[in-house]
A = this chain, B = another copy of it.
């Protein structure tokens, strides 16, 4: 006999009434509530979540799909977890390690009702295939999806990039090098276009020869600076894929006795904690706000209150490197 039945028996109340006190329904006499609660405690009772989920059709659980957890995604994930928890949702992480099969498990879990919804931080499967899972439950993505069918709360980085460009030019830096991440990513494409369009519009030269790709870490940044230093004329300023890269460039510049910002101005991207400490000029990426929006999106689709999607924007944070 299950504990639930035991409670029924001992208390003398019916299945329904016991369920009511478990779920804090107001329609129970104080007497019943008292007696049943007491027995629940005696028995150390806790509902079987599989049974609850089967009955309600909801798991109150949201899956987080990500290949890996790094400092940036962690900021996002943490904020998402907090928000979800505020609304009574648990979150579980599906770390795929870029394995398509493992990643797919998360989506199959949506299909088999193990989670109510999915947050995609990073995914390796083809969005075109993943979108078929939309019929089983809501999903949002942080990563930009080429596909428009899977909703994404990603922002267009071009806006942030323009901010940096305007800042640099207004300060008199015109010979600007660009250090990108993945060469074929949507974000890189956006940034590159933003740069080329902006420079052209200002009547300034577009410096394609100075493009560098696959610069992600601070150690990549160090390498990047060395290439610049060895590559003839030094740029007046460099726009970085992210703050880590910028930090690498900054520290390597110091070793090369290149003065920042006089000889080389540096602008990062994302505005991570460290960049404040190191006084790096950067573009503030409202990650926490995006995480909230991501949850609100799921929340909305899961059939609850509306939530206005406040529009987010990048912000330039001027510090000591420009």
B-binding residues in A (CB < 8 A): 46-51, 53-54, 59, 69, 77-78, 81, 85, 90, 92-95, 97, 102, 105, 108-109, 111-114
Contact = CB atoms under 8 A, between A and B. Distances in A.
A94 to B, nearest CB: 7
A113 B78 contact: no
A54 B48 CA distance: 8
15 contacts: A48-B113, A49-B112, A49-B114, A50-B50, A50-B53, A50-B54, A50-B59, A50-B114, A69-B69, A78-B97, A85-B102, A90-B109, A92-B93, A92-B94, A93-B95
Contacts of A105: 90
Contacts of A94: 92-93
Contacts of A114: 49-50
Nearest to A70: B69
**Count of identical protomers in the assembly:** 2
A81 B111 CA distance: 22
A48 B53 CA distance: 10
Contact of A112 (B48, B78, B85, B93): B48
B112 A47 contact: yes
Contacts of A97: 78, 81
A54 B109 CA distance: 16
Contacts of A95: 69, 77, 81, 93
A200 B97 CA distance: 47
Contacts of A90: 105, 109
Contacts of A59: 50
A114 B54 CA distance: 12
A69 B69 CA distance: 7
Contact of A49 (B69, B78, B113): B113
A178 B231 CA distance: 44
A50 B58 CA distance: 10
Nearest to A93: B93
Given A49-B113, A78-B97, A90-B109, 7 more contacts: A46-B111, A47-B112, A49-B112, A50-B54, A54-B54, A69-B69, A81-B102
Contacts of A113: 48-50
Contacts of A69: 69, 95
A54 B47 CA distance: 12
Top 9 A-B pairs, shortest CB-CB distance: A93-B93, A50-B54, A92-B92, A50-B53, A49-B112, A69-B69, A50-B50, A49-B114, A48-B113
Given A54-B54, A69-B69, A46 B112 contact: yes
A256 to B, nearest CB: 15
